[in-house]
């Protein structure tokens, strides 16, 4: 049995679909918070066969009507007693921890929710793993931890002690916490530093989603750092394929001062950053509309460029992103128009 936290989220939803096709039995948890529209999260769950209103009720276990091996519980990872009960009931072999409070700018406005979800919530996951000893814990880190690092592409051995946002600081904390529990309790743990994931069913707070909406509605879009920003956009299918390959591949035991620790961290990006001006141009072609652009200075908490060095993940699983930005955005735009009846 496999646990996916944040199953109603963007990556969690796609990963669930992928792993169901691989034959996994899955229990997903999500608290369906209102950081962005809960309706989108519930619609993702409906795609997975959860049609009952009970998915919105806290603590209820629901079985998918489409899959006999899929379950969902509306649950917050900050709720430690309920989380312990879920671990005790299911005895998970594998855990993929994706639940977190996302967003760089939002962490400046609402720092407390990041401490609650990303620090306390992850602590609760680790405590459950300490007791129930799964075969492998995979958790979501972020490219944001590279912070003010000027060297590109970002490598896993680069310094990550200069975060530019509280969100980044919580993700760095997650890596340190995970290493500690791996060392102390022998839990095999793999962290994944995601680089700007995009695609159908994506998050409305992400730039590609907001740009698409505003271009279609002929509203002005803001390009920060006067449009001179680059992001290593990574298509969702490439992400879930990599996670699927990693589930049964336990981390190598890193030797530090003769102490063996079953812990690894990997970049998971496209290895091909795209300037935002080009990104917008591709969207304009796909939408058949010109964007109204307002150039703005760099925002607090943001970095100018993200660029993933993916050599280590290639060595581990042969990871090589297969989706070009033009194709990935075309798939997103097609989904967007269908979902919003445009």
Q: Is 167 a catalytic residue?
A: yes
As a whole number of angstroms, the distance between CA 324 and CA 330 comes to: 10
Nearest to 276 by CA among 299, 295, 300: 295
Buried b (16+ CB within 10 A) or exposed e, 310-324: bebbeebbebebebe
CB atoms under 10 Å from CB of 214, counted, come to: 15
As a whole number of angstroms, the distance between CA 81 and CA 61 comes to: 15
Block residue for tokens 């001179």: 228
Q: Is 210 exposed, middle or buried (0-12, 13-18, 19+ CB in 10 A)?
A: middle
- 124 token code pair: 């609760």
* 218 phi and psi angles, rounded to 5 deg: 55, 40
Radius of gyration of the chain (CA): 19
**Could you tell me if 273 and 196 are in contact, meaning their C-beta atoms sit under 8 angstroms apart?**
no
* 101 phi and psi angles, rounded to 5 deg: -85, 115
| Residue of 167, 181, 307, 319 with catalytic role | 167
Dihedral Cα 238, 241, 242, 244, nearest 10 deg: 160
Residues labelled catalytic: 167
């Amino acid at each position: 049995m496999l646990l996916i936290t944040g199953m109603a989220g963007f990556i969690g939803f796609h990963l669930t679909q992928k792993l169901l096709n691989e034959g996994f039995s899955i229990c997903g948890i999500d608290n369906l918070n209102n950081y962005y529209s809960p309706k989108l999260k519930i619609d993702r769950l409906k795609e997975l066969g959860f049609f009952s209103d009970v998915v919105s009720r806290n603590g209820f276990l629901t079985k998918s009507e489409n899959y006999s091996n899929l379950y969902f519980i509306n649950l917050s990872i900050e709720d430690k007693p309920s989380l312990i009960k879920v671990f005790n009931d299911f005895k998970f072999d594998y855990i993929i921890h994706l639940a977190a409070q996302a967003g760089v700018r939002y962490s400046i406005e609402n720092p407390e929710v990041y401490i609650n979800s990303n620090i306390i919530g992850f602590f609760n996951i680790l405590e459950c793993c300490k007791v129930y000893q799964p075969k492998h814990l995979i958790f979501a880190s972020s490219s944001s931890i590279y912070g003010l690092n000027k060297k590109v592409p970002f490598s896993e051995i680069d310094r990550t002690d200069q975060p530019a946002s509280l969100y980044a600081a919580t993700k760095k904390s997650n890596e340190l916490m995970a290493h500690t529990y791996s060392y102390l309790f022998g839990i095999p743990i793999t962290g994944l530093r995601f680089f700007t994931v995009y695609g159908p069913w994506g998050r409305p707070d992400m730039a590609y989603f907001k740009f698409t909406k505003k271009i279609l509605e002929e509203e002005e879009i803001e390009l920060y750092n006067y449009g001179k920003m680059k992001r290593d956009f990574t298509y969702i299918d490439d992400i879930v394929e990599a996670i699927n390959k990693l589930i049964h591949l336990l981390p190598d035991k890193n030797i530090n001062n003769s102490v063996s620790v079953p812990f690894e961290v990997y970049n998971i990006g496209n290895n091909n950053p795209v300037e935002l001006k080009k990104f917008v141009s591709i969207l304009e072609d796909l939408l058949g509309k010109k964007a109204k652009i307002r150039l703005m200075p760099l925002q607090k908490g943001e970095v100018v460029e993200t660029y993933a060095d993916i050599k280590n993940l290639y060595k581990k699983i042969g990871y090589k992103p297969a989706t070009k930005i033009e194709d990935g955005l075309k798939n997103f735009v097609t989904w967007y128009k269908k979902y919003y009846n445009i």
